[in-house]
Amino acid sequence: MKEPVIIFNDVSKSYPLYHHLTGGIKNFLFHLPRGINSLKNSRFEALRDISFEVCRGETFGIIGRNGAGKSTTLGLIAGVLKPSKGRVIVKGRISPLLELGAGFHHELTGKENIMLNGVLMGLTRAEVSRKMNEIIEFSELRDFVDQPIRTYSSGMLARLGFSIVAHLEPEILLIDEILAVGDMGFQKKCIDKMMGFKKSGVTMVFVSHSMEDIGRICDRVMWIENHTARMLGEPKAVIAGYTGNSQ
């Protein structure tokens, strides 16, 4: 039996619901205790009672419609979100979710962001410096790495994000849609890199709307529908379930 390195035990994540005072402010003030209670108690459940395990070396895919809860799941694994209920256990070093914008500083240059994220991931400055060229080479952003990244396009940011996490010896790699904004050439490079990671036993959680990529790379896939796990298992069957349901 392989060792589980990511464990979700009945995990729910809810957010406070922002809504208008439908009865008007006067009505709200008049029935103040009830009004406050209804504001306090109305929460939106982005994820409900999700349980799964990802084993060391496994490539685990997450699919589902927009707003289903895929990025929320990655945020919980990365520890940037805390579950409202249940437990998330992660054993190993998680690569930061750079493609979501977290961990990037917009006024810093590409190079400075590489250094910053390398150091945040626990490498020394010397170690990051040694990898700097390889990262820039892979990203193909040589002409832009001295510019602040607020000037980058979304595809360029995705290139930088993937190049950083892919070259800092990841143990658990979380990839959210990164391939969607990259051009064809870069998408192919990312997939090749991920195939290499798979061979060398890196654990990966991969969120994508490309069923082709999911089918090609993943060992198992979870389909999230209506904020809960609808199906989990062998990629072919889960993809068929999801695509059949979306038509």
Ligand X SMILES: Nc1ncnc2c1ncn2[C@@H]1O[C@H](COP(=O)(O)OP(=O)(O)OP(=O)(O)O)[C@@H](O)[C@H]1O
What residues contact residue 23 under an 8 Å CB cut-off, 6+ apart? Answer: 31
83 binds, among ligand X, Mg ion, none (CB under 5 to 8 A by kind): none
Q: Does 83 bind ligand X (CB under 6 A)?
A: no
User: What's the one-letter identity of residue 211?
Assistant: M
Report the alpha-carbon distance of residue 7 to residue 90 in Å, rounded: 6
Q: Which is nearer to ligand X, 75 or 118 (CB)?
A: 75
* Distance separating alpha carbons of residues 38 and 46, to the nearest angstrom: 19
Contacting ligand X (CB under 6 A), which of 22, 66, 200, 247?
66
Please select the residue that binds ligand X; options are 68, 76, 165, 218, rule is CB under 6 A. Answer: 68
Phi, then psi, of 36 in degrees rounded to 5: -65, -40
Residue 236 CB, nearest distance to ligand X (Å)? 21
Minimum distance of Mg ion from residue 71's CB (angstroms): 3
The verdict on 110 binding ligand X (CB under 6 A) reads no
Q: Environment class of residue 209 by beta-carbon count within 10 Å: exposed (0-12), middle (13-18) or buried (19+)? A: middle
- Nearer CB in complex with Mg ion: 128/204: 204
Site mask for ligand X (CB under 6 A), range 111-150, x = bound: ----------------------------------------
69 binds ligand X (CB under 6 A): yes
Rounded-to-integer distance, Cα 141 and Cα 162, Å: 12
Gap between the Cα atoms of 39 and 37, Å rounded: 5
> Smallest distance, Å, CB 15 to ligand X?
3
Spatial contact of 211 and 62, defined as CB atoms under 8 Å apart:
no
Q: Which of residues 59-78 bind Mg ion (CB under 5 A)?
A: 71
Provide the binding-site residues for ligand X, judged by CB under 6 A: 15, 44, 46, 64, 66-72
